[in-house]
Each structure stands twice: as C-alpha cells, then as structure tokens.
Amino acid sequence: MKYVNVQEENGIAIITITREEALNALNNDVLADLEAAFDSLNLDTTRCAIVTGSGQKSFVAGADIAYMKDLDEKGGREFSTNGNNVFKKIQYFPIPVIAAVNGYALGGGCELSMACDIRIASENAMFGQPETGLGIIPGFGGTQRLARLVPMGMAKEMIYAGTNIKADKALEIGLVNAVYPVDQLMDAAKKLAGKICRNAPIAVRTAKKAINEGIDSKLDDGLKLEAEVFGKCFNSEDQTEGMSAFLEKRKEKNFQNK
C-alpha cells in the first residue's frame, strides 16, 4: 500500500492516509489502498480501528480535483460508485471505526469521517462539503449521511452554500463527539479505542450490526432484529465471562472473542 499505512497495537489498528504532499486527497489509488488496509485486518485480534491522516494539517482535504476535472458522466459515476463502495465497507465493517480528524476534512474527507462510527476532532479541524462550488455535488455519501447526522437545515446549508464549519461548530451540531488540542488527538482516539477493546468484542460487533441495520428500518423491525441478535450473544463464552465477573465482583474480565 503506497498511500495508506497500518499499525496495530493492543488490538487497535491505526490506519493512516499518507499522501501528505497532497493534503491526503483521495483518488482511486488511495481508495484502493484504504480498502486493502481494512481487508488486511485480522478480526480475531483487532477489536477497533482508527482512521486518520498524516501530518497535522489535513485529515483528507477532499477528492483529487485534478483527477476529476476531465471525467465525463460515466467516469464521474464510476468514481462515485468506487468511493461509495469503499466507504460502505468502512460503515459496515464488523468492528468499530473511529475517525481522528486532524485538520481539513473537506469533500471526500468529510464523507470519509461520516462513514466511520465515531468522529473526534482536533481544534484545527475544518469540515465541509464544498462540491457545489466546483460544479458537482458530494459523491461519496455526503448528500445521504450528513443529513442523518446533523440537523437537516444545517446539512443543506453546508452542501448548498458550501459552508465550512470549524471543530467547535461540528461539536455543537453533533457531527463530532469531542474536540481536543492537536497534540492530544491521537492519544484521545487510542484511549477511546481502548475502552471499546476492553468490552466483549462479540457484543460490540453485534451492537454495531444492530444499530447499522436497524437505523433505517421501522422501529418494530429494528426491535425484532435487536431481539434476535441479543439472543445470539448468549451463545458466546464472553457472555458467560462478563456476567460471571459482574456477579463475582471481578474488575478484570478475560474476554476471548468466542
């Protein structure tokens, strides 16, 4: 992988986009590397992933405009489909994915962050969907995910007017969960990932499945799904361990992902 680096520590995979000279902008090569990075993870040992960009200036500044400039309708549709397929892989990836947004998250960068389960940001982060100023619309899920995460009016303003928002505004409208000083962002992401990793991995993965598959369903259908996968948790050794530790008042739990 030329443009993406993967490091694993204590059950956490840190996936870093390394095209810093182009502010980590996305093209098909970067998307391919990003997909390959997720495909490379061992889900028996990896319990949470963090996605970030190299350097402190940019998470992902957007899709590569020089690449997009000469696309025709077919090429544009294919580029959008490619990006959406990669981002759907991240959204529905079995383990939780945290976006550690360091700096610019514009266009495809904002869309990448929204494909992740949780977003935290550095104080210098900037979010936006500026595509209408380029004669296009968001093509990697921005028109769909943004309005599901923030108030509809704010989503429409960001897309129609190309309004960029700073980290504090992103926190105010619920686009991110927390904001940290630049030099504390990755430590905060690792701390959050560590809290996730300490819980039963089968339960965490099942919760992600229930949320993702239920969110766009009717409530009754979502509740039926929840009951079904809730029951399956009782087939796991981790359920026995977790409840035994509680009843025995043990703080330490030996979850085995089984």
pLDDT tens, position by position, 200-240: 999 999 999 999 999 989 999 999 999 999 999 999 999 99
Determine whether 131 is an active site residue: yes
Confidence class of residue 15 from pLDDT cuts 50, 70 and 90? very high
What's the whole-number average pLDDT of the chain?
A: 95
Same domain, 108 and 207: no
Structurally, how many domains does the chain consist of?
Answer: 2
The question of whether 35 is a catalytic residue gets the answer no
149 in a structural domain: yes
Asked whether residue 254 is assigned to any structural domain, the reply reads: no
CATH code, domain carrying 232: 1.10.12.10
Q: What is the CATH number of the domain that holds 122?
A: 3.90.226.10
- CA-to-CA distance for 67 and 50, rounded, in angstroms? 27
Residue tagged active-site, from 9, 111, 228, 252: 111
Distance of CA 226 to the CA centre of its chain: 22
Judge whether 90 lies within some domain: yes
Per annotation, catalytic residue among 9, 35, 73, 131: 131
DSSP β-ladder status, 126-128 and 104-106: parallel
Among 6-15, 113-122, 248-257, the least confident range: 248-257
What number of CA atoms fall less than 13 Å from residue 122's CA on the CB side?
22
State which of 156, 178, 197 marks the end of a domain: 197
Q: Please, is 136 exposed, middle or buried when counting C-beta atoms within 10 Å of its C-beta (0-12, 13-18, 19+)?
A: middle
Claim to verify: residue 162 and residue 212 sit in the same structural domain: no
pLDDT digits (tens, 9 = 90+) for 93-130: 999 999 999 999 999 999 999 999 999 999 999 999 99
138 and 233 in a single domain? The answer is no
Containing structural domain, residue 222: 201-247
pLDDT band for position 39 (50/70/90)?
very high
Residue 50 scores a pLDDT above 90? yes
Does the pTM exceed 0.85?
A: yes
In the β-sheet with 4-9, what is the strand arrangement from edge to edge?
Answer: 4-9, 12-17, 48-53, 97-101, 118-122, 178-180
